[in-house]
Amino acid sequence: MEPIIKDSGKIKFSIYKKDRNTLARAGQFITDHGPVETPIFMPVGTHGVVKTLTPAELKAASAQIILGNTYHLYLRPGLEVIQGAGGLHRFNSWDKPILTDSGGFQVFSLSHLGKVTEEAIIFNSHIDGSKHKLSPEISMEIQNTLGSDIMMAFDECTSYPCDYETARKSLDLTHKWETRSKIHFDRLQPQYGHRQFLFGIVQGSIYADLRQESVDFLKQLDFDGYAIGGLAVGEPKAMKNEIIDIVSPLLPENRPHYLMGVGKPEDIIGGIERGIDMFDCVLPTRNARNGTLYTWKGRIILKNNQYRMDYSPVDENCDCYTCRNFSRAYLRHLFKIGDMTGLRLNTIHNIHFFIELTTKARQALMEDRFDTFLKNFYNNYPVEEDHWQENTIRREERRTKHMENNQNVSSSKK
The residues binding Zn ion (CB under 5 A) are 318, 320, 322-323, 349
Q: Which residue number, 108 or 294, has a Cβ lying nearer to Zn ion?
A: 294
Q: Which is nearer to Zn ion, 40 or 318 (CB)?
A: 318
Contact between residue 295 and residue 323 where contact means Cβ atoms under 8 Å apart: no
Shortest Cβ 151–Zn ion spacing (Å): 33
Q: Is 315 a catalytic residue?
A: no
* Alpha carbon distance 18, 334 (integer Å): 44
Whose Cβ is closer to Zn ion: residue 72's or residue 349's?
349
For the question of residue 280 being annotated catalytic, the response is: yes
Q: How far is the CB of 314 from Zn ion (least distance, A)?
A: 5
Q: Which residue, 296 or 388, has its beta carbon nearer to Zn ion? A: 296
Task: Please name the amino acid found at residue 130.
Answer: S
Of 25 and 328, which CB lies nearer to Zn ion in the complex structure?
328
Which residue in the list 149, 277, 280, 315 is annotated as catalytic?
A: 280
**Least distance to Zn ion, CB of residue 63, Å:** 14
In the bound complex, what is the minimum distance in angstroms from residue 341's beta carbon to Zn ion?
Answer: 15
Residues 385 and 290: their CA atoms lie apart, in Å, by 19
101, 267, 277, 315: which is the annotated catalytic residue? 101
* Least distance in angstroms from the C-beta of 364 to Zn ion: 20
- Residue 403's identity, in one-letter code, is M
Burial 385-396 (b: 16+ CB within 10 A, else e): eeebeeebeeee
Give the shortest CB-348-to-Zn ion separation in angstroms. 7
Amino acid symbol at 76 = R
Pairing verdict, β 150-152 and 257-259:
unpaired
Buried b (16+ CB within 10 A) or exposed e, 306-325: ebeebeebbbeebebbbbee
Alpha carbons 72 and 101: distance in angstroms, whole number: 10
Q: How far is the CB of 295 from Zn ion (least distance, A)?
A: 8
Q: Which residues are catalytic?
A: 101, 280
